[in-house]
Amino acid sequence: MDRTLRLKAPFLEGEASRLRMGDRVLLSGVIYTARDAAHMRMQRAIEEGGRPGIDLNGAVIFYAGPAPARPGAIIGSVGPTTSSRMDPYAPSLLDLGVKAMIGKGYRSDPVVDSMKKNGAVYLGVAGGIAALLARTVLSSRVADYEDLGPEAVRRLEIFEMPLVVLIDSLGNSLYREGPAKYGRED
């Protein structure tokens, strides 16, 4: 049976492992946005023997580049980007403690294998709801790579961002198994 769970980020040890494909999540707490350019920089730091400039222990990374905020707003629209573009970098970040990724679209087998190895999950939102997601953001600030502008890593404090578990830590995928489980017969 699918569940709706209220969770806080960063995740505590073992928390992501308890989530199952199809679970609905209302996520609150601190998450980080990062897109292609930020992922390339984090990967370079790792390859050079360093670490990214954010704490990845239990972290949730949202594959998004928020639009500029209008006057008086905390953040502009913030919607997911295609996750597969981050697939070359995801295993390294999962090995360093990332427990959840938020995005849209399929993930490669190496990423799913790394999720299983590290007890992590892939959460998703439907495209086209960026304005709604912006309403869940309580605060936003640049956390790293400010020179990247909209692709800078941002630290967001969120309240009850609506998500679904697309791939759980066992490798169960809504993309593969969902049609049989949730499809309807006419």
Choosing from 35, 39, 99, 154, which is the catalytic residue?
39
Here the tokens at position 139 are 């605060």
Strand partners, 158: 29, 137
- Is position 39 annotated as part of the catalytic site? yes
3-state helix/strand/coil string of the chain: CCCEEEEEECCCCCCHHHCCCCCEEEEEEEEEECCHHHHHHHHHHHHCCCCCCCCCCCCEEECCCCCCCCCCCCCCCCCCCEHHHHCCCHHHHHHCCCCEEEEECCCCHHHHHHHHHHCCEEEECCCCCHHHHHCCEEEEEEEECHHHHHHCEEEEEEEEEEEEEEECCCCCEHHHHHHHHHCCCC
55: left (phi over 0), alpha (psi -120 to 50) or beta: beta
Catalytic residue set? 39
